Amino acid sequence: MISSPLKLGFLASGNGSSARAIAAAIQADGLAAQARLLVSNNKSAPALAFAAEMDVPALYVPTQGDPAAADARLAEAMAGHGVELIVLSGYLRQLGPQTLGRYAGRILNIHPGPLPEFGGHGMYGRRVHEAVIAAGVAESGICIHLVDEEYDRGPVIARMAVPVMAGDTAETLEVRVTGLEPGFFVETLCRIARGEIVL
């Protein structure tokens, strides 16, 4: 059961843009939540430095050498910090069975294109926008979905349409979508905290 204030854990491999926006919303009393832990699989991730600046506990958990041990450590760390809901913020590793099992139905990811059409293994970042442009569709979108053992397959809980403009390239579409993602993640978490979205 997810309680309010939301007890959030974050996973980030790089900048952690959504995590930053969410932490800022918490500090500004715009989101009923607590940032309990940020974990990265990248020792030099800017998200780790940001977490230190914001007094959010942070942990580096390498995943390449022993993925099973990393999975166990990640699940234990999240539970040990009282995390009830995990937010993926540009985390470029697939989660293991212990974390997925302990947090089933309570791990959220944001995807920069319509699902399921523009998701799946290898579909992240600019590749998504290139595929959207190549498909010639009139509308892209942002999807927040639950995470399971397959990339981008979990149920979508919130969508935001993003029109494809005349003359758009993958680069221009990416800039527009990326600019909207953090605020949409905050808005969706607010709806979860108010009980409007039930996980």
Structure-token pair, residue 147: 């995470």
The radius of gyration of the chain's CA atoms, rounded to the nearest angstrom, is: 16
CB proximity list for 74: less than 8 A, separation 6 or greater: 11, 39, 61, 95, 96, 98, 99
Cβ 75 vs Cβ 140: under 8 Å? no
Instruction: Look at residues 141, 136, 104, 101 and name the one whose alpha carbon lies nearest to residue 119.
Output: 141
145 is catalytic: no
Place of tokens 């009980």: 195
Strands 6-11, 85-88: parallel, antiparallel or unpaired by DSSP? parallel
3-class DSSP state of 53: helix
Q: Which helix (H) or strand (E) segment is 69 a member of?
A: helix 67-80
Question: Around Cβ 154, how many Cβ atoms within 10 Å?
Answer: 20
Given the residues 81, 111, 129, 145, the one annotated as active site: 111
Catalytic (active-site) positions: 111
